[in-house]
Amino acid sequence: MARVTKFGKRDVAFEIAGLQLQIVIGIYNEMDRQKVSRQELARRLGVSERYLQDLLDGEISMTVPQMVRLARAMNFQWCIRPWFAGKKGGAR
């Protein structure tokens, strides 16, 4: 049974979309920093350029294993920290 929270379904969907956007922005920033094209990243991942684009556009839901593969292909690691809303200063 799903855990009931004070947030409604719409709020959760909004948070999920925001997190997905942060992940995609992180990937694009790293691609830009390393000067890696979508074509090159798709080659490194062993997927088509169209599949990669669909993944980055949110047409395909990104899974944690896909996030790890993307990070490895770009030679970086994800650093995920919780954000405590309502606490002064945010993350702790």
Domain presence at residue 21: yes
Residue 70's pLDDT is 92
**What pLDDT was estimated at residue 14?**
83
Specify if 30 maps to a domain.
yes
Token representation of residue 88? 């002064």
Say what the pLDDT of residue 28 is.
95
User: Does 51 map to a domain?
Assistant: yes
In a domain, 57, yes or no: yes
Range of the domain at 39: 9-74
Structure tokens at 69: 């593969």
| pLDDT at 82 (0 to 100) | 79
Count: domains in the chain: 1
Task: Supply the pTM of this predicted model.
Answer: 0.72
Q: What DSSP letter does each residue of 18-51 carry, written as one string? A: HHHHHHHHHHHHHHHHHT--HHHHHHHHTS-HHH
Residue 62: inside a domain, yes or no?
A: yes
Q: Which residues of the chain have pLDDT under 70?
A: 1-10, 85-92
92 contacts: CB under 8 Å, gap ≥ 6: 84
